[in-house]
């Protein structure tokens, strides 16, 4: 087997193992806000414009 073929195989195995291990990790999003109050559109506040937080809710 040539050196370039071995290098290609090693790179492929490395990328596949990194992809497989990344797929098993859970997706976690932690949002911490100080003094927010319930003034959000997803809580029914008619004056709040919070489309991105509403999309998460």
Contact 40, 50 (CB under 8 A): yes
Q: What is the pTM for the complete model shown?
A: 0.38
Task: For residue 49, name the pLDDT band (cuts at 50, 70, 90).
Answer: confident
Q: Is the confidence at residue 46, as pLDDT, over 80? A: yes
In which element (H, E) is residue 19 found?
helix 3-23
Higher pLDDT, 47 or 2: 47
Q: Which two tokens stand for residue 38?
A: 């319930």
Mean pLDDT of 22-50: 80
pLDDT for position 1: 57
């Amino acid at each position: 087997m040539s050196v370039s073929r071995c290098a290609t195989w090693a790179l492929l195995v490395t990328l596949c193992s990194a992809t497989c291990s990344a797929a098993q990790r859970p997706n976690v999003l932690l949002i911490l806000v100080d003094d927010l109050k319930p003034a959000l559109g997803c809580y029914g506040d008619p004056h709040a414009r919070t489309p991105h937080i509403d999309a998460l809710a």
